[in-house]
Amino acid sequence: MTTLAVPMSSARPANPSHIGPPAPTLGAAANAAPDGKRKIKIQTTDMGFFYGTHQALQKITLDIPERSVTALIGPSGCGKSTYLRSLNRMNDIIEGTRVIGKVLLDGEDIYARDVDVVELRKRVGMVFQKSTPFPKSIFDNIAFGPRIAGVRSMATLAPLVEQCLKQAALWNEVKDRLKDSALALSGGQQQRLCIARALATNPDVLLMDEPASALDPGSTARIEDLIDDLRKNYTIVIVTHNMQQAARVSELTAFFCMGRLVEVGRTKQLFTNPKEKETEDYITGRFG
């Protein structure tokens, strides 16, 4: 049980070195990572999160490198989803929430006073646990993001929709029925549609909140293949309950417990040789 097979794609370059133990002194200069390693896309420093007076996250310090997949694992209620949703400020919707510490995207503090949340969310796309197609046609679903950003002409929209659907590996299944309601798609197709829709706003980062937890194994495998494709161009952060899935798709894994970040490391190392006792208990099934 302790030795999960971790099939990492062998062609991947080595992962960044300064992960795990915090490096809080890094400022904007961290953008260009030292020693030529991959640069940091999202940098979280001593971040805390409050629902009213209840502190849901404390002292989270985590660097997420660009063009990679980072998995967030941990027992229910550990704060991993809260952390994910704080990266595109979706928690702002909930009244009475508060963030302390710093979250930097490309060196810019996303919680600074003068940040335009709408601009942030265009850059940091999100896919939810339950697929959320709009009750409209497939085409209109994908075109929603570009349209609200001011793209009106069909000459631009049509190829954009095609390109996003191709990226999400859905084009061949739906190319003849773009005008059909998105609600007629199967669960797995709906979820890929949501991924395609998120890609259409031209984001750098994709946040995925248990994207496959409601899907059958076949659809799950397709989503995982898709994630594997997307990592070439996007920074992906994925929350998952399924440790095998974390092991299959991610290069980095962060283990959350009770609102704290217990351990972060290369996925293979974390699953085979965790540093912390809590991590070991969790991945061996003695916890949660």
Partner 1 sequence: MSQTPENFSANLAWRHRMGWLFAATCRLATWASVVFLVVILLVIVSRAWPRLTPEFLTHFDSYKPESAGMLAGILGSFWLILFTGAICVPIGVGAAIYLEEYARSNWLTRFIQLNISNLAGVPSIVFGILGFTAFVRMFGVPRTAIVLALGFADVRIPLPFGRSVIAGSLTLALLCLPVVIIASQEALRSVPASLRHAALALGATKWQTISRQVLPAAMPGILTGVILALSRALGETAPLAVLGAAYFITFAPGRINSASDLAQHPDRLLQVPFDQFTAMPLQIYNWVNEQSRDFQQQVSAAGIVVLLVVLVLMNGSAILIRQHFQRKIRW
Partner 2 sequence: MTAGSPPPTTPANAQVKVPRGSSLKRRFTWNGAYEKCIRIVLLGCALVSVITTASIVFVLLYESVLWFPGHTPFFGKVSLVEFLTATQWTPQFDGNQHFGILPLICGTLLTTVTAGAIGLPMGLASAIYLSEYASPQARSILKPSLELLAGIPTVVYGYIGLFFLTPLLIKPVLTGVFGLSVDGFNALSGGIVVGLMIMPMVASLSEDVLRAVPSSLREAGYALGATKYDVSAKIIVPSALSGIIAAFLLALSRAIGETMAVAIACGNRPQLTLNPLRQIQTMTSFIVNMMKGDTPVGSIEYQSLYAVALVLFLITLTMNYVSQWILRRYREAYQ
Does 233 bind partner 2 (CB under 8 A)? Our answer is yes
Q: 268 to 287, contacts with partner 2 by CB under 8 A?
A: none
Identity of the amino acid at 188: G
> What is the distance between the alpha carbons of residues 194 and 223, in angstroms, rounded to a whole number?
11
β pairing state of 69-73 and 235-239? parallel
Nearer to partner 1, 198 or 249 (CB): 198
CA-to-CA dists, residue 141 to 13, 149, 169, 185, 194, angstroms: 36, 14, 16, 12, 8
Which residues are bridge partners to 49 per DSSP?
Answer: 57, 99
Candidate residues 30, 33, 62, 105; the one interacting with partner 2 per rule CB under 8 A: 105
167 contact choice in partner 2, partner 1, none (CB below 5 to 8 Å, kind-dependent): partner 2
Three-point CA angle 64, 194, 246, nearest 5°: 40
Candidate residues 31, 129, 181, 269; the one interacting with partner 2 per rule CB under 8 A: 31
Does 93 bind partner 2 (CB under 8 A)? Our answer is no
User: Token match 């952390």: residue?
Assistant: 83
* Segment interacting with partner 2, rule: CB under 8 A, options 49-57, 146-154, 189-197, 244-252: 146-154
DSSP character for 180? S
**Which tokens in the block code for residue 51?**
């629902």
Does 37 bind partner 2 (CB under 8 A)? Our answer is no
- What does the per-residue mask of binding to partner 2 show for 192-231, with x meaning CB under 8 A? --------xxx-x---------------------------
CA pseudo-torsion sign 166, 172, 178, 182: negative
Question: At its nearest, how many Å lie between partner 1 and the CB of residue 227?
Answer: 18
> What is the distance between the alpha carbons of residues 18 and 21, in angstroms, rounded to a whole number?
8
Site for partner 2, rule CB under 8 A = 31, 39, 66-67, 105-106, 108, 110, 112, 114-116, 119-120, 122-123, 145-146, 149-151, 156, 159-160, 163, 166-167, 200-202, 204, 232-234
